[in-house]
Amino acid sequence: MTASTPAPGEATTERVRGIFSGIAGRYDTFNMLASMGIDRGWRRQLVKACALRADSRVLDLCAGTGDVALAIAAQAQPESVVVTDFTPEMLAIAEQKAQKYSGATALTFAHADAQELPFADASFDVVTVAFGVRNLPHRDRNFAEVLRVLKPGGRYVILEFSRPTFGPWRGAYHIYLRSVIPALGGMLTGDREGFVYLNDSIRRFPTQPQLAAELREQGFSAISWKNLSGGIVALHTAVK
């Protein structure tokens, strides 16, 4: 490995954007097959954790193909959701899918790096991110930016792969990650390496209490988390 080669599972802007621009067209199919449809239930739980009102203004980061933003709009109908991502190919699919939405929520789209947000201070009631913070080289910058754009009392809701709490379940899950995910991802997208990164990045990511501690250190309060599917993913909530 050279000095410029990222370590396995290490998120770099080039690596992450390269992976997602390449797999954008197959991302939704991969998600559905890899999680056997369970991801929809995880996103529903995320929407509940947002505790939205009709006048809430929401920012969705690392929005990808828009499933979180569309679930928020369909389930909770807040005033608006700003849908952001830094990979144009992913965001284009989100915009296309949103054309079918005809509810009360105003959906707008913007290219944005989650570590440097092009929004004014205190402009959102809720910020959401699903399966995004793991891909950020500088999580601390993201946390600082989210604190800046949230209104006082606003909440940050993070859905992310985590650490199953029951040992045998964790072992089985890690075998699945190591063998099934790269094979399935490689077959669907031709980018097996991208899915090896996915496996490695999940193994490197902080545990539930570690992520909570990072959020606390950064200045969030009232931090809590809920394990879903035995801790395969965790839903963290933090308040400004």
List residues binding ligand SAM (CB under 6 A): 16, 20, 62-64, 67-68, 85-87, 90, 113-115, 130-132, 135-136
- For residues 222 and 51, the answer to whether their CB atoms sit within 8 Å is no
Count of other CB atoms within 10 angstroms of residue 78: 22
Smallest distance, ligand SAM to C-beta of residue 102, A = 22
181-189 helix and 27-35 helix, angle to the nearest 10 degrees? 150
Nearer residue to ligand SAM within complex by CB, 70 or 150: 70
CB closer to ligand SAM, 68 vs 150:
68
Strand order of the β-sheet with 124-130 is 106-111, 80-85, 57-61, 124-130, 150-161, 233-239, 221-228
Both structure tokens of 85: 């991502």
CB of 198 to ligand SAM, least distance (A): 8
Question: Do residues 192 and 23 lie in contact, with contact meaning Cβ atoms separated by under 8 Å?
Answer: no
Using DSSP bridges, classify how beta strands 233-239 and 221-228 pair: parallel, antiparallel or unpaired.
Answer: antiparallel
As measured in angstroms, the least distance from the Cβ of 193 to ligand SAM is 16
Nearer to ligand SAM, 92 or 153 (CB): 92
Contact 51, 117 (CB under 8 A): no
Q: Rounded to the nearest whole angstrom, what is the least distance from the CB of residue 114 to ligand SAM in the complex?
A: 4
Smallest distance, Å, CB 167 to ligand SAM?
Answer: 27
Comparison of 2 and 36: residue with beta carbon closer to ligand SAM: 36
Coil, helix or strand at residue 239: strand
Q: With respect to ligand SAM, which residue has the nearer C-beta, 127 or 152?
A: 127
Closest approach, Cβ 91 to ligand SAM, in A, equals 8
Q: Which is nearer to ligand SAM, 132 or 182 (CB)?
A: 132
Tokens linked to 127: 């910020």
